[in-house]
């Protein structure tokens, strides 16, 4: 009897199970799909096998293949990147939304090509404004311009964006091609933009007649008038330009100051400079007032510049400190706060600099390097580059230190500095300092230091700032090698040392270091041990140092650094001295 009762119960359970599977087929299929996806993924036993699997999955149009791709797309490596791109293309083929996959790919590895595809995908799903924003960032690409035109973006808006990016030649070509195709209102705007572009590309003779016609119609703004002034300058009509700049108040103040200074009307030039909002202009104005011993007026400008982040902040803070001390005015805390960030400035004030140092950490070599090596050994160089870029993007501080050590061991000191600096910005450990301030080519440096009686750490400091320890470094002006020796200077040094010279010699560590050390020694002797002047001469030339030294501000040791008119040279002195004092702090006890 009991057996008879159990039979219908079992039949009922079977029927319910069958019905549930029939009612919820998606969950059942998903489970089967996941099992099959896992069987796919089990084939990926290494980087090369993963690439082979991706080729299989690219051809597989089944739900199982898609599920496997989605799993791989979550990875943070080249495999994840490629998987997202395959999925994006797959979804586009099905007329489905591919935006998310392109966005994930770009998070891993950003390229212009994929940015364009993302913008296209956004446009396809109706997010026109978002698409245009991306196209705008790619404005120099002809495909982005064509896409915006197809989306109905006004031609003048496209030209404005090209102007913002300083893509003047592209903008000129665009206007010439499209001005016949627009209505009168937009043609007027394009004509104005065309005149501006002629001025910006220094075609002043063509620009001025067009600009004057537009000015006569009253269709101008301050930017247009500024470029009209620049065009007048370009044709030598500087008095007319002065009148234009005077009418532009703050916008024209810097150019007005330059022209007045050129005419020798210095105090009037200073007032014009100070009226500008540009840091460079206000610095120039303050320096002129300083030279005319109008120190309280100059101090006011220096102090304001010291409170504003910018290229002149440190110089202005230092000069404010010097003048406040000279005038017996209490030094402002804000001035000290700027200067205490730099070893060079604190030493100049006779104060002690406090280097930040936290507990050291153990360097860790990141795992992605093994994958990069495997790709490279299989001639997959493009994939290796992608893997490397993605891996570097997501490194921890310990891994940054590991990369720095790894590059250092291979003699790639430039790359070691790069990773040491990144680690130092995150955690100021001793290891990070040692990678950021290395001592490569020790035999050559110590030999040259002894020969020319200079501190080896000064040689390393100059080397660090000149080339970041790259033997093959070449500057845009022709300086070469570790110590960035100019060919003419190299020939002069060779004559003095009575040795042979060729440009190729300057790409060899031993000779370049010896020549650089000799030149540092020569400059120190020439300027009686004044490190600021020696470094300024190394970077900006002996003649300029003598000229700066003859100014009112430059005649004193404390005033000389801010008497230098070349920003590059002022920065150079500070950077080299920052490195030099850091070397002494880091290694001198050894």
pLDDT of residue 181: 75
Largest CA distance in the chain: 123
Give dist(CA 10, CA 31) in Å, integer. 25
State the DSSP code for 332.
P
pLDDT of residue 12: 54
pLDDT of residue 178: 85
Residue 304 has pLDDT above 50, yes or no: yes
Residue 372 has pLDDT above 70, yes or no: yes
List, for residues 318-366, the tens digit of each pLDDT value.
999 999 999 999 999 999 999 999 999 999 999 999 999 998 899 999 9
How many angstroms separate the Cα of 102 from the Cα of each of 73, 105, 129?
A: 11, 5, 17
Q: What is the mean pLDDT of residues 147-160?
A: 93
Read off the pLDDT band of 18 (50, 70, 90). very low
Residue of 295, 399, 465, 466 marked catalytic: 466
Q: What is the mean pLDDT of residues 9-29?
A: 46
- Are 420 and 435 a contacting pair, CB within 8 Å? yes
Q: What is the pTM of this model?
A: 0.87
Q: What is the mean pLDDT of residues 264-273?
A: 98
Mean pLDDT of the chain: 92
pLDDT of residue 57: 93
Indicate the burial class of 130 (C-beta count within 10 angstroms; 0-12, 13-18, 19 or more). Answer: middle
**Regarding predicted confidence, which is higher, 536 or 5?**
536
pLDDT of residue 289: 97
pLDDT of residue 589: 74
Look up the CATH architecture of domain 442-587. Orthogonal Bundle (1.10)
- Are 215 and 223 a contacting pair, CB within 8 Å? no
pLDDT of residue 9: 52
Give dist(CA 26, CA 73) in Å, integer. 22
Residue 33 has pLDDT above 70, yes or no: no
pLDDT of residue 588: 82
State the DSSP code for 556.
S
Q: Return residue ranges of the chain for CATH 1.10.530.10.
A: 442-587
**Catalytic residue flag (residue 466):** yes
Read off the pLDDT band of 504 (50, 70, 90). very high
Q: What is the mean pLDDT of residues 507-536?
A: 97
């Amino acid at each position: 009897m009991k057996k008879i009762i159990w039979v219908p119960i079992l039949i009922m359970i079977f029927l319910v199970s069958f019905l549930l599977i029939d009612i919820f087929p998606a969950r059942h299929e998903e489970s089967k799909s996941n099992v099959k996806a896992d069987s796919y993924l089990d084939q990926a036993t290494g980087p090369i096998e993963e690439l082979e699997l991706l080729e299989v999955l690219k051809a597989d149009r089944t739900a199982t293949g898609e599920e496997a791709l989605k799993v791989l797309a979550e990875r943070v490596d080249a495999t994840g990147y490629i998987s997202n791109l395959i999925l994006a293309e797959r979804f586009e083929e099905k007329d489905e939304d591919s935006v998310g996959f392109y966005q994930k790919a770009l998070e891993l590895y950003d390229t212009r090509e994929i940015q364009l595809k993302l913008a296209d995908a956004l446009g396809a799903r109706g997010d026109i404004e978002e698409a245009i924003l991306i196209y705008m960032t790619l404005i120099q690409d002809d495909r982005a311009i064509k896409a915006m035109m197809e989306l109905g973006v006004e031609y003048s808006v496209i030209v404005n964006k090209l102007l913002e990016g300083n893509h003047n030649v592209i903008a000129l070509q665009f206007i010439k091609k499209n001005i016949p195709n627009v209505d009168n209102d937009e043609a007027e705007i394009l004509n104005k933009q065309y005149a501006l572009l002629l001025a910006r590309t220094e075609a002043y003779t063509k620009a001025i007649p067009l600009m004057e016609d537009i000015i006569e119609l009253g269709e101008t703004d301050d930017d247009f008038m500024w470029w009209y002034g620049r065009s007048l300058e370009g044709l030598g009509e500087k008095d007319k330009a002065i009148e234009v700049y005077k009418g532009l108040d703050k916008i024209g103040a810097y150019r007005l100051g330059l022209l007045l200074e050129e005419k020798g009307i210095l105090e009037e030039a200073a007032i014009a400079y100070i009226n500008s909002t540009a840091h460079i202009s206000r610095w120039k104005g303050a320096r002129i007032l300083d030279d005319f011993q109008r120190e309280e007026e100059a101090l006011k400008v220096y102090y304001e510049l010291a409170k504003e982040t910018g290229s002149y902040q440190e110089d202005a803070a230092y000069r404010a400190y010097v003048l406040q001390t000279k005038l017996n005015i209490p030094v402002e805390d804000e001035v000290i706060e700027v200067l205490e960030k730099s070893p060079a400035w604190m030493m100049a004030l006779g104060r002690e600099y406090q280097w930040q140092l936290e507990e050291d950490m153990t360097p860790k070599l990141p795992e992605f390097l093994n994958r990069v090596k495997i790709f490279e050994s299989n001639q997959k160089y493009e994939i290796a580059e992608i893997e490397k870029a993605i891996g570097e993007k997501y490194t921890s501080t310990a891994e940054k230190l590991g990369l720095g050590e790894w590059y250092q061991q291979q003699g790639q000191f430039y790359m070691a500095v790069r990773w040491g600096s990144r680690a130092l910005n995150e955690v100021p450990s001793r290891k990070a300092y040692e990678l950021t301030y290395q001592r490569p080519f020790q035999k050559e440096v110590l030999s040259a230091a002894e020969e020319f009686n200079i501190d080896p750490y000064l040689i390393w400091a100059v080397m660090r700032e000149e080339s970041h320890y790259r033997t093959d470094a070449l500057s845009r002006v022709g300086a070469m090698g570790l110590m960035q020796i100019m060919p003419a200077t190299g020939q002069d040094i060779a004559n003095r040392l009575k040795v042979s010279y060729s440009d190729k010699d300057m790409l060899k560590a031993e000779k370049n270091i010896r020549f650089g050390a000799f030149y540092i020694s020569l400059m120190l002797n020439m300027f009686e041990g004044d490190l600021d002047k020696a470094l300024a001469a190394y970077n900006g030339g002996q003649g300029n140092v003598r000229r700066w030294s003859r100014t009112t501000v430059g005649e004193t040791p404390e005033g000389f650094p801010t008497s230098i008119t070349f920003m590059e040279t002022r920065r150079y002195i500070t950077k080299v001295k920052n490195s030099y004092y850091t070397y002494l702090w880091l290694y001198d006890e050894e």
